[in-house]
Chains A and B, each alone.
Chain A
Amino acid sequence: MTITSTSPPDAVVLGPPATRPAVQPSRRKNNRLTHNRWGYAYVAPFFLVFGAFSLYPFLYTAWVSLHRTSLSDIDGGTWVGLENYRNLLQSEFFWNAARNTLTIGILATVPQLCMALGLAHLLNYQLRGRTFFRTVMLMPYATSIAAATLVFAQLFGRDYGLINTALEAVGLDPVDWEGGTWSSQIAIATIVTWRWTGYNALIYLAAMQSIPGELYEAAEIDGASRWKQFLHVTIPSLRPTIVFTIIVSTIGAVQLFGEPLLFSGNGTTSGGGSGQYQTLGLLMYQQGWSNFNIGQAASTAWAMFLIILVVVGLNALVGRLRARADR
């Protein structure tokens, strides 16, 4: 038996905490197995690696961000307090990169998740070749950022790119995709969308399949059309999953790096001739590994983390308000 045929739909649904089966029963048991010092031994290997290569670096980056440090002199930084952050906020490069990250992020996330939702709906029908469709749509996810970007850079090429050839064939003007601000950002967002739509569609599909059929039966009896059912049964049931995918996509969008780095075709960190598609991730790399200004790069990394915290916090807040409104 394979995973798909036996992974039972009885699994815990990604849903509001209230619908999850309570964990209480196992807490009651006071036997030796559940209250067990060996727990530390089992988490120790994980936390050793995790502490050394994740937790410690996260905190140390904060320390570095308060110093003027160069890559060639990594141990001899001088304390400058918040100077790196002040410089960052006054730097036009930072605001340019922040703006680009935001617009590319929106261009890459919103159409992607909408299409994923539609695709999941289609995949949820009784289909011939179900596995084939699912697998093909996941293939972009298996393709690396580097490979995908190199291919799309060719497709979006100004002179011989297939997309411009197609535009000319239907009588439209060719576009200098890499040169323009919007065109380059759309092209980069397309790469992200291509890689992730199928993946998110499968996540939505899994959640759709765990919606109880009775809900649809009831809607059917009330005379709701297919579209109404999609709108009033499917979407509300998927809300926790949608919030989850928005959060994950946002975290990915803030860190966008490989696509803008390789899209130019010459591996420069400037993000286009006038920085028209330089993202925060790329700026951070440029500050650290092109300009050797480690302290400045560290402050950019922290700024990125703060942006993620704000977005996730907003999502949680909106989710809570909506939940309260529903009650």
Chain B
Amino acid sequence: MATITLSRATPTPPAPTPRRRGRRRPQAGRAGPVTYTLLVLSALVSAFPLYWTVVAGSHTNAEIAATPPPFLPNASLFENIGAAMEQAPIGLAILNSVIVAGCITIGTVLFCTLAGFAFAKLRFRGQGLLLALVIGTMMVPTQLAVIPLFMMIADLQWVNQLQAVVLPTLVSAFGVFFMRQYLMSSLPDELLEAGRMDGASTFRIFRSIVLPVARPAMAVLAMLTFLTAWNDFFWPIIALTTSNPTVQVALAGLGSGYVPQRSVIMAGTLLGTLPVLIVFAVLGKQIVGGIMQGAVKG
């Protein structure tokens, strides 16, 4: 994956305590059988509900209710998926979620990189106050925003339209903070000064020096943002209805049917979760790295 390579174009500032990960530390000994047993158990607990979705989604209601319950997938999966798609527009929902999460990801990465650069490397009046404002709002619950937002989209007649979900989520305070932390530690001032000596404008410097350095962090932010946007629940369920849903809104509708058909609900859940699981299977290692890196830098 060329876009997510993390080889740095520039020298990083020297480490306070240079160490390679894990290997040389005395406490990180080899894992024994107990460690492996516990880890395998944890992995099973993590994976089982998802596996069960496949099993339950591929049987009839009567079959899953049997004692002992089935533990292997069966052939009814496609039938159940068909039934789920009749009850909820899951195809449309997946398309909508791709559009919504895609737009939010592009907007967030772009705007937060710009702002993160300014907060990390430029000085301007009121900067500290603005940054405090951004960080402070990370504590504010979503509930505090939804009433005025709903009035706004009602006025604009955007209820049940995708832009009602995209626009309010187009930037994130976390993204600004994340990009700022990354650029502060990975972008040496000397590099910017060299660019300035050569007579480059601030925008030229941003394009030719900052962006290449920021790319790995942008990739991490993009993955995390896409995941969050795909899974977002509270605002979409207010702004959209089941006639033009994102995946989460469609799943909520599917789960609230008057006649709960367990296997159909599970088949629909599987279908709605599959895109994320595929992304995760391909990029899992990078997402893990991104979260750990974000934790260390934040």
The 5 A-B pairs of least Cβ separation, nearest first, read A10-B15, A267-B256, A3-B289, A39-B124, A42-B118
Q: Is the CB of A146 within 8 A of B252?
A: yes
CB distance from B1 to the nearest CB of A (A): 8
Q: Is B123 in the interface zone, CB < 8 Å from A?
A: yes
Q: Mark A31-56, 1 if CB is under 8 A from B, else 0.
A: 11111111110110111011001111
Q: If A210-B296, A289-B238 touch, does A298 touch B26 (CB 8 Å cutoff)?
A: no
Q: Mark B128-170, 1 if CB is under 8 A from A, else 0.
A: 0010011001111111111111111010000000000001111
Q: Is the CB of A154 within 8 A of B247?
A: no
State the CA gap A31–B144 with chains docked (Å): 42
Q: Is the CB of B171 within 8 A of A124?
A: no
Q: Mark B213-229, 1 if CB is under 8 A from A, else 0.
A: 00010011000000100
Q: If A7-B292, A125-B35 touch, does A194 touch B114 (CB 8 Å cutoff)?
A: no
Output the nearest chain A residue to B210 by Cβ-Cβ distance.
A42
Output the nearest chain A residue to B28 by Cβ-Cβ distance.
A124
State the CA gap A213–B229 with chains docked (Å): 39
Q: Mark B234-251, 1 if CB is under 8 A from A, else 0.
A: 100110000000011001
CB distance from B231 to the nearest CB of A (A): 4
State the CA gap A157–B265 with chains docked (Å): 14
Inside 8 A of B31's CB, which chain A residues have their CB?
122, 125-128
* Given A150-B251, A257-B234, A308-B141; 19 other pairs, CB 8 A cutoff: A7-B289, A12-B184, A29-B189, A33-B196, A33-B205, A39-B127, A42-B114, A61-B144, A71-B150, A136-B47, A139-B284, A142-B276, A142-B287, A146-B272, A150-B269, A258-B252, A301-B144, A304-B141, A308-B140
Q: Mark A290-318, 1 if CB is under 8 A from B, else 0.
A: 00001001101110110011001000000
Output the nearest chain A residue to B145 by Cβ-Cβ distance.
A57
Q: Is the CB of A9 within 8 A of B171?
A: no
Output the nearest chain A residue to B203 by Cβ-Cβ distance.
A38
Inside 8 A of B184's CB, which chain A residues have their CB?
12, 23
Output the nearest chain A residue to B297 by Cβ-Cβ distance.
A11
Q: If A11-B293, A147-B269 touch, does A38 touch B286 (CB 8 Å cutoff)?
A: no
Q: Is the CB of B6 within 8 A of A2?
A: yes
Q: Is B185 in the interface zone, CB < 8 Å from A?
A: yes
Q: Is A153 in the interface zone, CB < 8 Å from B?
A: yes
Inside 8 A of A216's CB, which chain B residues have their CB?
25-27
Q: Within the complex, which residue of A61, A153, A169 is in contact with B147, where a contact is CB–CB below 8 Å?
A: A61
Inside 8 A of B49's CB, which chain A residues have their CB?
140, 143, 148, 151-152, 155, 194
Q: Is the CB of A265 within 8 A of B260?
A: yes
CB distance from B247 to the nearest CB of A (A): 7
Output the nearest chain A residue to B176 by Cβ-Cβ distance.
A46
Q: Is B75 in the interface zone, CB < 8 Å from A?
A: no
Output the nearest chain B residue to A230 by Cβ-Cβ distance.
B27
Inside 8 A of B167's CB, which chain A residues have their CB?
49, 53
Q: Is B39 in the interface zone, CB < 8 Å from A?
A: yes
Q: Is the CB of A229 within 8 A of B293?
A: no
Q: Is the CB of A143 within 8 A of B50?
A: yes
Q: Within the complex, which residue of A40, A125, A132, A135 is in contact with B124, where a contact is CB–CB below 8 Å?
A: A40
A residues in contact (CB < 8 Å) with B: 1-14, 21, 23, 25-27, 29, 31-40, 42-43, 45-47, 49-50, 53-58, 60-61, 64, 71, 74-75, 119, 122-128, 131-155, 157, 159-160, 162, 165, 169, 194, 198-199, 202-203, 205-207, 209-210, 212-214, 216-217, 220, 226, 229, 233-234, 241, 244, 251, 254-255, 257-258, 261-262, 265-267, 281, 284-285, 288-289, 294, 297-298, 300-302, 304-305, 308-309, 312
State the CA gap A105–B255 with chains docked (Å): 24
Q: Is the CB of A43 within 8 A of B286?
A: no
State the CA gap A241–B104 with chains docked (Å): 29
State the CA gap A309–B145 with chains docked (Å): 16
Q: Is the CB of A213 within 8 A of B19?
A: yes
Inside 8 A of A202's CB, which chain B residues have their CB?
288, 291-292, 295
Inside 8 A of A29's CB, which chain B residues have their CB?
189, 193
Q: Is the CB of B28 within 8 A of A33?
A: no
State the CA gap A10–B13 with chains docked (Å): 8
Output the nearest chain B residue to A251 by Cβ-Cβ distance.
B139
Q: Is the CB of A2 within 8 A of B285?
A: yes
Q: Is the CB of A143 within 8 A of B273?
A: yes
